Structure 1
Amino acid sequence: MIRKDLLMKYPLYEYVLIIIPTLIGILGGYWIVRNNWHRYGLLFFISGAVGTGLCYLFIVLRFYSFPDRPLHGHLIVPAFVMFTFIPFTVVAGVRYSPKIWSWKIPFYWVLVHLAIVSEMLLIQYTNIFTFTFGWDLWDSYTLW
């Protein structure tokens, strides 16, 4: 007989959408941070802490929520992604930023648009992320 508490609570693709970015964040973060631990390691840690803090604040203010949180139990913030993938994108953005200033703005625009498209896809096709209290994609875009 199969125990019901061992069955997956969420759809498989939602677990994959948490595991893959977490692994990319861990491996990619390690790959970049190993070059200069003091500079990139500190930035990785600070961006993870600030990102998680802002995410928690916006959840408390009821701007958005995470109804399905695979692998996170009772945490209201998707901590694995916030402490791995988000800092990895920040560190990668700093590490691989173009040297020529005229290319920096388009480079960061691409990063922001990738984040917004990710949010839009999560909202449209999963129950991991939802906007509440009048917060919408434009507010999120403006904040980024």
Structure 2
Amino acid sequence: METQDIDHVGVVVENLEEAIKFYEEKLGMKCVYNDVLKDRGLKVAFLKGKEGETAVELLEPVDHNDMNNTVAKFLKNKGQGMHHLAVRVSDISASLKDLEGKGISLIDKSPRPGAMGHTVAFVHPKSVMGLLLELVQH
């Protein structure tokens, strides 16, 4: 698997609107995407800095009490903070096949729709030194 670049860092937050305000007012970033992913039970926003290369993805569960939602569970158990690192790949299916062939444990064996119309898949943290890794194909 060959990564093109870091795509974004995912951060779980208690309140998406307050977090957007913080990142814009205190860090000078700009919100470039804000949506509700109903099928995943998430409110998401992407913010970028002046250069606009790498984004911060803010994630808030729609229902904070839904322990079937991995982001709600993360928020309850760990609080706000870094959730995952996302790397951009040119061919997500080939990347998944390559990683699986190398004995890497995958959460998603096939790609699925993600935010902003991108295709995504997650790699299990136990295979990435405790880090949840997201593959993103634009």
State the TM-score, normalizing by the size of structure 2. 0.24
Based on CA coordinates, which of the two structures has the bigger radius of gyration?
Answer: 1
State the TM-score, normalizing by the size of structure 1. 0.23
Structure having the higher strand fraction is 2
Which structure exhibits the higher relative contact order, with contacts defined as CA atoms closer than 8 Å and separated by 6 or more residues?
A: 1
Structure having the higher helix fraction is 1
